């Protein structure tokens, strides 16, 4: 299918699993906090560790890979725009680094990209899309760090234009919890 970013249904199993793991760790954090302070609220550091993990984005693989922390992501040129997140159903002003700049920083500028998420999800984003429009890895929404519940700490965001980005064919490109970008292996689906 033309303009299709990746196969439908990829990641379904992992999505359920990650939701279960997330719920499990939230429950554990709450239980742990309550056990330690029976009269009080769970301690802030436990809650913060669950909802705001430190962002890292790895560019490439193996010996040539580069790991960027938040400061290094912020040191790249940033883009900012408002768009409705298709899965959250809410609009945010997102800020982040473009895939175009990240690919250059990783030494694979202009190539089709494979994006990986911490829940095992992966998808393909085409050079013809990210070279023409500011698709970003967002680290900020409405001026704040992005929580896990809002698909952060790093999440892929597509601009509102062109209009095809708002069609179902592109919902797979909104990679939540993105943690690695590599050049796509050869093949129509980027080796998927």
Ligand X SMILES: Nc1nc2c(c(=O)[nH]1)N[C@H]1C(S)=C(S)[C@@H](COP(=O)(O)O)O[C@H]1N2
**Binding site residues, ligand X, CB under 6 A:** 10-11, 14-15, 87, 117, 119, 121, 171-172, 174-177
Q: Would you say 72 or 118 has its CB closer to ligand X?
A: 118
Q: Would you say 133 or 172 has its CB closer to ligand X?
A: 172
Least distance (Å) between residue 11 CB and ligand X: 3
Least distance (Å) between residue 80 CB and ligand X: 22
Q: Would you say 10 or 72 has its CB closer to ligand X?
A: 10
Least distance (Å) between residue 43 CB and ligand X: 28
Least distance (Å) between residue 7 CB and ligand X: 8
Where does the chain show beta strands of DSSP type E? 56-59, 66-69, 79-85, 90-98, 113-117, 122-125, 136-141, 144-145, 155-157, 178-183
For 186, which DSSP code?
Answer: S
Of residues 128, 139, 137, the one with CA closest to residue 164: 128
Q: Would you say 98 or 119 has its CB closer to ligand X?
A: 119
Q: What angle do CA 133, 138, 143 make, to 5 degrees?
A: 120
Contact at 8 Å (CB) between 164 and 170?
Answer: yes
């Amino acid at each position: 299918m033309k303009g299709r970013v990746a196969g439908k249904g990829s990641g379904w199993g992992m999505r359920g699993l990650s939701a279960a793991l997330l719920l499990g760790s939230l429950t554990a954090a709450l239980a742990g906090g309550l056990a330690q302070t029976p009269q009080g609220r769970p301690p802030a550091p436990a809650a913060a560790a669950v909802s705001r993990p430190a962002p890292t984005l790895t560019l490439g693989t193996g010996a040539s890979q580069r790991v960027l922390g938040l400061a290094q992501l912020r040191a790249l040129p940033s883009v900012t725009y408002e768009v409705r997140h298709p899965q959250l159903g809410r609009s945010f002003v997102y800020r982040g680094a473009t895939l175009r700049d990240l690919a250059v920083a990783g030494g694979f500028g202009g190539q089709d990209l494979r994006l990986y998420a911490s829940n095992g999800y992966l998808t393909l984003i085409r050079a013809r899309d990210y070279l023409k429009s500011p698709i970003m890895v967002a680290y900020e929404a409405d001026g704040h760090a992005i929580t896990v519940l809002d698909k952060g700490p790093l999440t892929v965001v597509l601009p509102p234009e062109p209009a095809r980005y708002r069609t179902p064919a592109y919902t797979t490109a909104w990679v939540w919890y993105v943690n690695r970008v590599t050049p796509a292996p050869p093949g129509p689906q980027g080796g998927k």
